[in-house]
């Protein structure tokens, strides 16, 4: 299953990186979301994959068999913060698009507006 996760993480990272290298802002945004997914899976994998044994301590299993709770706590906040960042980036982009009238990041190089 490590192999399976390695493939998924590799694909998500590769796709994410490709997209944030684009000039179109929407693509950059989607790339960021894909990268966030990849990072979440990476944290989960690094904390070791455990199947079907979530950490609820009254289930009486031996401690070593449980999944590691710490990466999960990290990912949980990462997901929610990721949402905040997505929303912020989306709105920032909308605003920039309205002001600069372009979607092309290369055209947005200057802080001063041409108008």
Partner 1 sequence: MRSSLILCTATRFLLPIILMFSFFILLRGHNEPGGGFIGGLVAASAFALYAISHGVTYAQQLLKVNPINLIASGLIIALSSGLFAVFNGSNFMQGYWSEFKFPVIGKIGTPLIFDIGVYFLVLGIALLIIFSLAEEEEEIQ
Partner 2 sequence: MLFFVLLGFITAVLVPLIKKISDNFLSWIIPIIPASIFFYFASFYYQIADGEVIKVSYSWIPSLGINFDFYIDGLSLVFAMIISLVGTVVYLYAGSYLKGDTRLSKFYIYISIFMSSMIGVVTSDNLMTLFIFWELTSISSYLLIGFNHEKESSRYSALQALLVTGLGGLALLAGFILLYITTGTWDISEINKMPAEVIGSSYFFLIVIFILLGTFTKSAQFPFHFWLPNAMEAPTPVSAYLHSATMVKAGIYLMARLNPAFGNSILWNDLLLVFGTATMLFAAVLSFKQTDLKKLLAYSTLSVLGTLTMLIGIGSDLAIKAFIIYLIAHSLYKGTLFLVAGIIDHETGTRNIEKLSGLRKLMPITMIIAVAASLSKMGIIPLVGFVGKETVYASVLELPIFGNYLIVITILANMFVVYITAMVGFRPFFGKLKSTPKNPHEAPFRMWSGPMFLALSGLVLGIFSSLFLNKLINSSELGIISERLNIPVKLWHGFNLELLLSTITVLLGLFLYFKREYFLKFVASFSSVKFVQPSYYYQFIFDGTLSLAKYITSKIQNGYLRFYILVILLTTFSLIAYTLHTFYSFNEINIGGSVSVYEVILAFILIISTLLAVSAKSRLAAIVGLGGVGYVIALFFLIYSAPDLAMTQFSIETLTVILFVLVIYKLPKYLSFSSTTRRIRDIIVASFAGLTMFFLVLVISGTSLTSELKEYFIAESYPSGKGLNVVNVILVDFRALDTLGEITVLAVAAIGVYSLLKLRKKDN
Residues that bind partner 1 (CB under 8 A): 54, 56, 58, 76-77, 80, 83-84, 87, 91
CB 12 within 8 A of CB 31: no
Residue 50 binding partner 2, by CB under 8 A = yes
Q: Which of 29, 31, 24 is nearest to 91 (CA)?
A: 29
Q: How far is the CB of 2 from partner 1 (least distance, A)?
A: 25
Q: How far is the CB of 114 from partner 2 (least distance, A)?
A: 14
**Which partner in partner 2, partner 1, none is near 106 (CB below 5 to 8 A by kind)?**
partner 2
Residues 11-40 that bind partner 2 (CB under 8 A): 11-15, 17-28, 30, 33-34, 37-38, 40
Residues 72-101 that bind partner 2 (CB under 8 A): 72-73, 75-77, 79-88, 90-92, 94-95, 97-98
Q: How far is the CB of 81 from partner 1 (least distance, A)?
A: 10
Q: How far is CA 81 from CA 28, 74, 78, 87, in A?
A: 18, 11, 5, 10
- Taking the C-alpha atoms of residue 113 and residue 64, their distance in angstroms, rounded to an integer, is 59
The DSSP symbol for 105 reads G
- Taking the C-alpha atoms of residue 18 and residue 7, their distance in angstroms, rounded to an integer, is 16
């Amino acid at each position: 299953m490590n192999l399976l996760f390695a493939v998924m993480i590799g694909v998500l990272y590769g796709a994410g990186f490709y997209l944030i290298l684009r000039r179109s802002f929407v693509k950059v945004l989607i790339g960021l979301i894909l990268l966030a997914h990849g990072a979440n899976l990476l944290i989960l994998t690094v904390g070791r994959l455990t199947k079907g044994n979530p950490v609820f301590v009254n289930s009486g299993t031996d401690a070593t068999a449980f999944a590691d709770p710490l990466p999960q706590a990290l990912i949980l906040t990462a997901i929610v913060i990721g949402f905040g960042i997505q929303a912020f980036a989306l709105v920032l982009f909308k605003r920039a698009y309205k002001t600069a009238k372009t979607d092309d990041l290369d055209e947005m190089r200057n802080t001063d507006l041409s108008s």
